[in-house]
Structure formats: structure tokens, C-alpha cells
């Protein structure tokens, strides 16, 4: 219970470990989440965030490659998320080539906006720091001034039976 009145979406937000493996992500919803991130504030409007998005069963291997970049502790629960994404930042400004000290902050803001949009659509986002940046660089070769930072699991909340007991306990 909040100590002061806040937007209901903030109260409804949940980062589940249990995702429903039977409910795929809708492309229109995913596009809206990414659009919400695009509209986020950023230093010099540089929009330094980059997302690599994988949709389970879409005919590409992107979801599997992202899954392989998650740390071992995130894989047992993230396996059921219909959408996995990686959050990366461009560490330099396009307009002058100088380091962008706000890039990581701006990725966080964009991911927060993405998450609020998800909640408004009844979708859950579990953000995680537990990725293997070197694997991301090897698998996706995003560029010399691109730094992998986070992962996101996106989908519908599932039942405790969808994850190992230790993760179900965390969800509870």
C-alpha cells in the first residue's frame, strides 16, 4: 500500500518469475511498448537506448540467442517468457562523438516507460541485470560504442507451477 496516492499503474506493476508459457505476446502490444520507450526523455534527446527483441517461435533464433545471454540463475524462470529483450546503450553522442554520461540513466527511463505501458495493457515486464555482456557482444555484434546492460522478460503472469519452487516462493 502506497503511503501517498500514486497512479494505479504503479501499484499494479509486478515483475513475475512465473510467465504463462501458453500465452504468446501480441506484436501490436510489443510495438506499443517499444514506442513508449521511444517517447521517453533523454539527454540531448539522444535516445541512446537500444533493444534487441526476441519473440519465441517467430521463426528466427533471436529469442534463443537472448536466452543464451542470460545468467544461469535467470534461465529457469525466463524460459517461459514469450518475449525476451536486451537493453543496450550507445555510450557516445551522435552530435559530437563525446561520451554520454547519461546513457545508462536514459536506458532506465526508457525501460520504465516501456514497463508502465505494459502494465496499462495487462502485460508484465521483469527487468534484470543478470545478463552476460560478453555473450551479447559475441552473439549480436552491436558495435564498438554499444554496451549491453540489462535484460527484460515480457509476457503474461503465469502460475507458480510454471517455475521451480524457489522462484515461485519469490513470486509469492
Q: For the chain, what percent of residues have pLDDT higher than 90? A: 93
Q: Which of 143, 119, 151, 129 is nearest to 51 (CA)?
A: 151
Structure confidence at residue 12 as a pLDDT band (50, 70, 90): very high
Residue 69 φ/ψ, nearest 5 degrees? -90, -5
Residue 25 above 80 pLDDT? Answer: no
Q: Average pLDDT, stretch 33-52?
A: 98
Give the pLDDT confidence score for residue 45 in this predicted structure.
Answer: 97
Instruction: For residue range 133-151, list pLDDT tens digits in order.
Output: 999 999 999 999 999 999 9
Give the pLDDT confidence score for residue 92 in this predicted structure.
Answer: 98
- The pTM (predicted TM-score) of the whole model is 0.95
Q: Average pLDDT, stretch 59-80?
A: 97
Task: Report helix, strand or coil for 153.
Answer: strand
Residue 22 above 90 pLDDT? Answer: no
Strands 124-128 and 49-55: unpaired
Amino acid at each position: 500500500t502506497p503511503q501517498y496516492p500514486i497512479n494505479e499503474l504503479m501499484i499494479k506493476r509486478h515483475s513475475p518469475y512465473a510467465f504463462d508459457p501458453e500465452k504468446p505476446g501480441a506484436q501490436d502490444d510489443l510495438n506499443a511498448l517499444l514506442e513508449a520507450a521511444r517517447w521517453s526523455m533523454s539527454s540531448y534527446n539522444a535516445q541512446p537506448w537500444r533493444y534487441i527483441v526476441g519473440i519465441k517461435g517467430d521463426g528466427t533464433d533471436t529469442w534463443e540467442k537472448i536466452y543464451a545471454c542470460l545468467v544461469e540463475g535467470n534461465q529457469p524462470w525466463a524460459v517461459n517468457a514469450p518475449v525476451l529483450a536486451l537493453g543496450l546503450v550507445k555510450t557516445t553522442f551522435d552530435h559530437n562523438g563525446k561520451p554520454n554520461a547519461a546513457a545508462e540513466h536514459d536506458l532506465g527511463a526508457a525501460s520504465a516507460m516501456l514497463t508502465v505501458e505494459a502494465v496499462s495493457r495487462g502485460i508484465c515486464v521483469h527487468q534484470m541485470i543478470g545478463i552476460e555482456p560478453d555473450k551479447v557482444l559475441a552473439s549480436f555484434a552491436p558495435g564498438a560504442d554499444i554496451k549491453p546492460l540489462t535484460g527484460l522478460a515480457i509476457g503474461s503472469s503465469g502460475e507458480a507451477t510454471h517455475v521451480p519452487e524457489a522462484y515461485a516462493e519469490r513470486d509469492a
